Every structure is written in structure tokens, then in C-alpha cells.
Structure 1
């Protein structure tokens, strides 16, 4: 049965222990067809924590888009099983509809709990049965894959499914004779689907088109999480894997302290409002104007929740509060595991090194990768945020989670289990050098004494502190255009960037020195290159980082 499923999906499962190295956190599988070593696409930096850092930098190899380009017929036929597999995501979003319908029809309370039971019990079991797949799309097929309307329409349809679950739950708790346990089951089930609205919005909100970005805002409104796009796109992607990022958990920090002390206050309120206020100020607008991208989805939330209360009465208020709470907890839990303890190192110029693939935890488990729209291929997402979910790639030799996100939930909510499983994996990534790990400062001394094989350099008496050399910004010139060397985004003074708060005609010199590329958030202003003739762009699908 298992073999037939994998054959239908054109997947080679990774057998437990097959061709694995000694490192429990790094997958050492060798390259195969459609499988590229990440170093071939992401050249290593001086501060890479990999044990192979002493090896010479490999040559960056890319495939020209015109080479071996499949015909439309062969491309569609080869990808048909994979295309069908993605339908599992909207089917998952319909699970509360199935559970509530069966619960009301049969009178059995268990049906109201089928959605959380499937996510937190069934999905980890399915991940264990079906295994993982490291298959990647051929680079030559990526342009056609990303241009396919099928994958976009699938995410568009999911927006309506999030609202369907929200409305169905409100109707059920307000009009049906539910006991307390059934009420809680409906609220948690529909709350999880609103929480998965963050998965849908994460995919749509990173795209350049205003239509998809508005769909992301509309989706986020179901869980009252309108600040997510601002904080995630402009804050987390800029600060990721640094001590100052509230979206990156620190070594020694348990889930509950992380949620209450850092993620909830800073990622939910402080940082997004700071970012949005600064953006609007650049355009001379008030932070309370309708142009505020946090207020826009928040107003949609108020209208939606208000309409549900007006339609069904105040009995839905506890339900709506539970839905919003589930969304907040879901995102906080996901943030906790995605970059746990991983750290970008500071360079001689005082800046953190660019975001690298080894700064994210990844997993290739089949079921959860479909369920999370490939968000678990997190390294490629951070390198290329605008790349669509169906084209995200997996790479070997990266920090690897032992399970998909739902399975990691059980470890995170029981800190002793988390320490037993994740501490060895994180320490192995950095060879027990806690100077290279994002450590909780409250526990730094104890953690160094217990786990580090190297002295704490931050406490060395003879440490020499030097002022980092000043970075030379690209000089303003007559071309009026500057391009990101990573993703190809070009800032043109004549056009400005209204989304970033720069009206047409804003000169390059007026952009803040700490401004980052609005598309990839990987490159800073100092990295941009003046366009002297036509902007140098990277062929779609190659996505190299020079």
C-alpha cells in the first residue's frame, strides 16, 4: 500500500537510517535526480557553521531555462500526481465541515474533535508511515511551474474555505444544542482552520501583486491577525536568526516563556506598529489612516466578527475569542520551532551575515509539507520569499527536524521532551560552540557550563572591542536605478515604491541606510548595485545568490 502511494506521487521515500551520517540533525543524503546540494546554489560564507566549511567554495551551477525544457504535454503529464496531491490542503480545510456535520447527525461528541485529533495525532502517524521526500522540481521546469494558474487558484479558493469554517462554527455553537465539550471541539476545530489561514496568507502575502496581498489580508482577518504581514515580511525576514528577532526562539527558552515574554508583545504589537508607523511617516500619513496595512485587515476582522454576533447573538463571543486565541498560539508555536537557537554571525563591518540555508530548521515529511504548503522547506523560502510553494526546494546538509510541525508540537509543549530531542541536534550543528548559538541570555552561564566545549568569548577579560568599519553606500548617480544582486528587484527613483512609503521621485539618498530589499529582505541598501544600462536580473528558476 505504502509503495503504491509513493509510486503514484512519483516520490522516493527516505528510509530511516538510509545513507545517513553520524550527525542526528543534518541529513547527509547524496544528490539524485532533481536533488541539488544547497551549496551549489548558496555559496558558503566565512561564518557557515557547517562542518565542511574548510572545503573550497563550490562552483555555482545553474541550468539555463532553455535547456531540456519539457513540452507542455510532457510537463503536465509528469506533474499530474503532484498536482493532485496539493488538493489535500483544501480538503484539510474542509475537515471541520465534515466533523460538525457528522457530529450533529450522529450525536457523537467525538466527531466535533476530529480536526484537532487528525492534525496532532493522525498527521504525525501519516508522516511516519509515508516518510519524507527530498524530490525537487527540475530548475528548467520552474518557470512553467510557477506560471501555472492551477496552484494560484488553489490558494485563492482556500480563502473562502477559511470563512466557511468560521461561519459554520458560529452557526453550530449558536443554533445547535451543544454541551460544553462539543462547544469546545467546534471552537478548536474551526479555530485551527482560521489559524491555518496564516499558512494561506503566508503564501499569498509574499507575492508582488496587490490582488494576492489583499487576499492575504482578507484571510488573516478570520483569526484577527492583521499585523502578521507587516511583522513577518518586513520584520522577521530582516531580523531572522538574530538575538533581536522575536520570531526566532533562543536556545534554553521554553515555548511558554517565548510566547508570553517575546513573541506575543513584540511580534504582535511592538515591531509591526513601529514598522508601519515609519512606513506611513515616509509618505506623510498618519498611522491611523486607512492606508495602514495593519488597520485594513483589523477592520475586516471587526466587520466579520460583528456580523457574526449580529446574526447569531452573543453566544458566539466565547467561540470567536477561542478562534482568535488559537490563531495566536498556532503562529507562536510555529515561530518557536522554525529557527530555534540558530544564529547569523556578526561580520567585521558590524552587520549580521546574510540569511543562509543553515539558519532555518527544515523537514521533508510528505504529509505536513502538503499541509503547510511547503513552509517546512524553510531555508529556500527565506532565500527566495516570492518563490511559490510548489517550486520550493529541499537541500541536504541542513538542520533537520525529526518530525513535521504537528509532531514537533508535542515536544514543544513538554519542555523536557524538547530538551532531550532538540538540544543534541542544535549542539551538533555548531559542534557544541555556544558562542555561535542564539542563547537565552537569562541562562547563558548555566548553558555554557553544561553544554559548551568552548569558553564564553563574550565574557573574556581580554576581549578587544573595535569599532566596525563604516560601510560605503552605493553613491547616487544619474541612472536613478539600483538593483538587488540577489533577487533582481530594482528601485527606480522616478517610480519610487509606494508600498514602502517612497513616493515617485524619492531619490536614492533619501532611503534609510538600514533599508532592505522589499522583495527578498536578504540584501541591504549597501548591497544594491547601480544600474548603468539595463538591470541585471537573474533568470527565473535559477535564483543564485552571488
Structure 2
């Protein structure tokens, strides 16, 4: 695909905040505009438009990796997300929403902060530049999931496709069982990883250098400032803001866990005689090369290459035919994962067939 068209495509994430805000002011069914786009229009476009299995030519990888445009797009999203949340606080504090509008508004906001925001945080969190790591933490702060910065990079990428990894879903495991295990064990794992890091540096667990302590406090500070500011503006205690912030956060990181569930369902690395696991390769993650949803998610669906080569930026991730392929993009597969009998009926035969092919 033409490089210019790809650049334009990566702006498609901005459709979500436009639909959220525009839908609110339209009122009525407009509250659900963002949901219709994500869970109906995107899967339909994924189905109708061909897959993009083309890869960046090797001679162009270095140039595209260093092209600033692709970084600016992700940097810009940080400010978009902060703006959306500030606007969300304003709406919640000044408009009386009925019960279904609350549901639509919170879930719609989570599609922005969790669906796109955590995807961008994931991309930036893998980078060595301090500004990109800072932006990653800011985005994770807005969904109360800052420990992901530690657990994903130092835990999940090391243990993926093994029983030791909380974020690898097991064969026959429902999303709901996976959610509880991944959220709980991933959180405690982040504390252990940070404790080990501090010990290696000869620092106390209660040191100001303990990132996990800051990661607990900063979301409360962020929410508290919003609560205080809008309470002063409205001359009342705006109790709706903490509720909105917590609800959209839980929904947002639940979207992340849904994606984790899709990406690694039933994947296993072989244990070697040495006791170590075989190296992570592109066959240890589910892949999806659907054009529309990949633009929307900054090519997160090319997850096989990301795990094999975690240092690669999103714009140069490769498609691998040998990787297990999801039958649809994430927008559609998320809905399927929420219905365990349907998920098992659709995915278990595919997983078993793919494993037989690997053994042949």
C-alpha cells in the first residue's frame, strides 16, 4: 500500500473522539454512534476490504523507523485523550444524564481511553526515549493501569505463551476467568518485578524510586484535581466525576484484557530439556492483517511480529503467513470473546488445526 495512504490511515483513531463528542451533542441515538462504528462498521469494513499482508521492504525499514511523523501521531494522541477526559469531566459535572446515557457515555469514553489510548501507551512504553515512556505512563494513568508499564515489558514479554504468564489465556479458558487472573496476577507481578529491580540497585522497597508507589497515587491525584476543579466551578461536590473516572478506567483496561485474551489464546512455547522455554517467535501470537482495524489500532494486530521483535515500531511491523491467523479483526473478535460458547466453537477447532499443522 502507498506510504502516503498509510500515513492518512493512522489518523483514523481520531474518528472515535469525534464520534463520542459529536454523538453526545446530537443526543438520542447519537450517544451510541461510537459503539456502532467500532463494533459494526469496522468489522463490516474489515470483511469487505482486502487484507493487507504486504510488508515494508527491508531497505526502507530504517528510514520509516526514524521518520518523525509516526511518533508525532502517537504523541498527539496523548493530548487528545487528556482533552477528551477533561471534556468528559465537564459533561458529567454539568449535565444530568439518565441511566442509559451514563452507560453509553462511560462505555464510549472507554473505547477512546482504553481502545485507542492503551494501544498508544503500549506502543510508547516499548521505547527507550524518556519522553515516549513518560507519555505512555500518562495514558495509563488515565485508566488506572500504570502497573502495565512494568508488567507488560518486564513480565509478559518474557513469559508469554507459558503457564507463568498471567496475560496468556489458556485453551478452554473463558474471558471472564482470564480477566480475573490476568488483572490480579499481573498487578502483583508488577510489584515483584519492581521489588527485584530496586534490590539490584541496592534501594529500599519504600524508596521514592519505587515506581509502583507512584503508580498507585497518580491516578488518584489526576482524578482528585478534576474533582476539585469542577466542584469549585459548580459550587458543589461533583461526586459524579470519581464514579465516571473509575468506571471508564475499569472498562478501559478490560478492553486491554480482552485484547490480551485474543492475542495469545491457547499459545504455548515448548519447554526445553534445560528447563528454559523455546525462544519467542512469530508463531506464538495470533495475528490479524485486516486493514481498517489495523489502522485504527496502530497495527497492534500484527502482534506476532511485535512479540518476536518487541523493539520494532508499529509502522514497520510485518505480517507472517506462518503465524496463527484470527478469522476477523479485534473489533469483531472482542464481541465473540464475550460469549464463551461462541468463542470456543469458533476458535478451538482453528487452534487445534493450526497446532496439527505445526506438528506435521
| Band the TM-score falls in, shorter-chain normalisation | over 0.9
Pairwise mapping of residues 140-539 of structure 1 onto structure 2 (< 5 A)?
A: 140-195=59-114, 196-260=116-180, 262-267=181-186, 269-312=187-230, 313-431=238-356
Q: Deviations over 1:294-345 (max 9, x none)?
A: 3334433122100111123112222112111112211111111111111100
Q: Say what the alpha-carbon RMSD is for the aligned residues.
A: 1.6
What's the CA shift for 1:92? 2.9
Which deviates more from structure 2 when the two are superposed, residues 301-310 or residues 248-257? 301-310
Contact 2:223 2:241 in 1 (8 A): no
Partners of 2:322 and 2:122 in 1: how far apart? 26
Gaps of 5+ in 1: 1-9, 11-77, 437-546
In 2 relative to 1, CA 93–284 (structure 1 residues): closer, same or farther, beyond 3 Å? farther
Q: Deviations over 1:178-214 (max 9, x none)?
A: 2221122111111221213210111100001111101
Give TM-score, length-normalised by structure 2.
Answer: 0.93
Q: Which has the larger radius of gyration?
A: 1
Pairwise mapping of residues 28-67 of structure 1 onto structure 2 (< 5 A)?
A: none
Partners of 1:180 and 1:162 in 2: how far apart? 24
Partners of 1:251 and 1:369 in 2: how far apart? 25
Partners of 2:208 and 2:42 in 1: how far apart? 41
Matched pairs, number: 351
Gaps of 5+ in 2: 231-237
Partners of 1:418 and 1:80 in 2: how far apart? 37
Q: Deviations over 1:426-481 (max 9, x none)?
A: 10122299xx9xxxxxxxxxxxxxxxxxxxxxxxxxxxxxxxxxxxxxxxxxxxxx
Partners of 1:382 and 1:212 in 2: how far apart? 19
SS in 1 for 2:182: helix
Partners of 1:384 and 1:432 in 2: how far apart? 24
Which deviates more from structure 2 when the two are superposed, residues 296-305 or residues 184-193? 296-305
Greater share of residues in helix: 2
Q: Which has the higher contact order (CA 8 A, sep 6+)?
A: 2
Partners of 2:341 and 2:276 in 1: how far apart? 35
What's the CA shift for 1:285? 2.1
Give TM-score, length-normalised by structure 1.
Answer: 0.62
